[in-house]
Amino acid sequence: MEYRELGRTGLQVSRLCFGALTMGPLQRGLSPQQGSWILRRAFELGVNFVDTAELYCTYEHIRLALQDYASERPVVVTTKSYAYSREGMLNSLEKAQKELGPNCLLIFMLHEQESSHTLRGHWPALEVLFEAKKAGVIHAVGVSTHHVEGVRAAGNIPEIDVISPLINSTGIGIQGGNREDMLSAIKGAANLGKGIVAMKPLGGGHLLADWSSALEYLLVKAEIHSIAVGMKTVQEVENNVAFFQGRRDLPAPEITTRRLHIDDWCIGCGACVRACPNQALEIQAGKAKVASRENCVFCGYCGASCPEFAIKVI
Ligand code: SF4
Ligand code: SF4
């Protein structure tokens, strides 16, 4: 496994980052024990970097995988919270520490920032993270974003160490610009010393048919230090590790058709529409409807925001 310095964080991370969204309740719904076996296999094969979020509900999967795990190379976990207030971020931080346990180095991010305006709006929460880093509770502070402007804005904040931008070979899901605009923003941020963790390399599953060229597209980019790939089986872990180690004769992953399911009991409150970073939903005749199948990257954020449990990725 190849490892890279994650910007100026002082952390060395595997180029393959284990994306934990896919195994959790927003997608495949593996039990914590099942998830931990898959994560553990990835650790054994040299992966030392895991991407999760409070929203993904996979802290227990990760904590179980880390239990009694000893390695020369510490496991780095990046998590994220939508908190915007001081109190909210203190709660998120406490939850992550308690539920992930002590056996990892933590990068804490603001989840899904759009621009300098949203970063300003979250400043009290960011200050908590800066203080936590100073106190040695976390190792780095970051921002995740689907927006070109989000990358540019985070790049200009000296205290932000890591950026997790949405980038892939077709540009699916990128907001506020195209693939080239996003790459240019990423290069600018990397030149400023930020660690870059690419997310949605397979466009939420849309690029699975051409998975090897989609991954290769990102692997050759020096400014991208690590690539978060969602995994939910041991076979996927073994194939992805082999691919990242240079094997190019691997079978294509199984293509599972995913779609959004909206139940009849939707009350049309619009929370899912507001939660969707990709404008893939709309309200029609008092119910949520898919406005654009092409824009949906199956992140599951809509499902997590629904007070009625009426929308999910299946
Ligand atoms: S959040 Fe749930 S109830 Fe509200 S519009 Fe969306 S699917 Fe319907
Ligand atoms: S519709 Fe839901 S799953 Fe699709 S991109 Fe929007 S929030 Fe994510």
Domain at 289, CATH number: 3.30.70.20
Nearest-ligand number for the alpha carbon of 268: 1
The number of distinct structural domains making up the chain is 2
Residue 102 lies in a domain: yes
Q: Could you tell me if 165 and 307 lie in one domain?
A: no
Res. 181: pLDDT tops 90: yes
pLDDT at 238: 96
- Tokens (6 digits) for 220: 């050759």
Domain ends where: 216, 244, 272?
244
Give percent of the chain above pLDDT 90. 81
Higher pLDDT, 284 or 209: 284
Mean pLDDT within 4-26: 95
Q: Could you tell me if 226 and 282 lie in one domain?
A: no
Domain ends where: 185, 217, 244?
244
The closest-lying atom of ligand 2 relative to the alpha carbon of residue 290 is: 1
Res. 37: pLDDT tops 90: yes
| Phi, psi (degrees; rounded to nearest 5) at 83 | -55, 140
CB atoms within 10 A of CB 81: 23
Domain ends where: 244, 275, 300?
244
Mean pLDDT within 183-205: 96
Res. 229: pLDDT tops 80: yes
Q: Which amino acid residue places its CA nearest to atom 5 of ligand 2?
A: 296
**Ligand 2 mean position to 271 CA, how many Å?**
12
Q: Which amino acid residue places its CA nearest to atom 8 of ligand 1?
A: 266
pTM for the structure as a whole: 0.89
Range of the domain at 301: 260-313
Mean pLDDT within 279-297: 92
The closest-lying atom of ligand 1 relative to the alpha carbon of residue 275 is: 1
Q: Could you tell me if 83 and 11 lie in one domain?
A: yes
Half-sphere exposure in the Cβ direction for 130 (13 Å, CA):
11
Q: Could you tell me if 136 and 271 lie in one domain?
A: no
Residue 23 lies in a domain: yes
Cα separations (Å) of 228 from 22, 133, 137, 159, 275?
A: 11, 23, 23, 23, 22
Q: Could you tell me if 107 and 192 lie in one domain?
A: yes
Q: Could you tell me if 57 and 7 lie in one domain?
A: yes
Least confident of 30-44, 90-104, 107-121, 243-257: 243-257
Residue 158 lies in a domain: yes
pLDDT tens across 91-120, in order? 999 999 999 999 999 999 999 999 999 999
The closest-lying atom of ligand 2 relative to the alpha carbon of residue 299 is: 8
3-state secondary structure of 94: helix
Q: Could you tell me if 65 and 104 lie in one domain?
A: yes
Q: Could you tell me if 154 and 84 lie in one domain?
A: yes
**Ligand 2 mean position to 292 CA, how many Å?**
10
Residue 253 lies in a domain: no
Q: Could you tell me if 231 and 301 lie in one domain?
A: no
pLDDT at 42: 98
The domain that holds 211 is classified in CATH as: 3.20.20.100
Mean pLDDT within 174-199: 97
pLDDT category, 304, cuts 50, 70, 90? confident
3-state secondary structure of 244: helix
Q: Could you tell me if 133 and 230 lie in one domain?
A: yes
Average pLDDT of the chain, as a whole number: 94
Q: Could you tell me if 78 and 202 lie in one domain?
A: yes
Q: Residue 261's beta-bridge partner residues?
A: 312
- Tokens (6 digits) for 161: 């160490």
Residue 27 lies in a domain: yes
Q: Could you tell me if 214 and 286 lie in one domain?
A: no
Mean pLDDT within 8-36: 95
Nearest-ligand number for the alpha carbon of 309: 1
Residue from 260, 273, 308 whose mutation best tests the ligand 1 pocket (most atoms within 8 A of CB): 308
Residue 91 lies in a domain: yes
113 vs 122: CA distance, rounded Å: 9
Res. 277: pLDDT tops 90: no
Q: Which amino acid residue places its CA nearest to atom 7 of ligand 2?
A: 276
Residue 250 lies in a domain: no
pLDDT tens across 120-162, in order? 999 999 999 999 999 999 999 999 999 999 999 999 999 999 9
Residue 254 lies in a domain: no
pLDDT at 299: 84
Q: Which amino acid residue places its CA nearest to atom 5 of ligand 1?
A: 268
pLDDT category, 301, cuts 50, 70, 90? confident
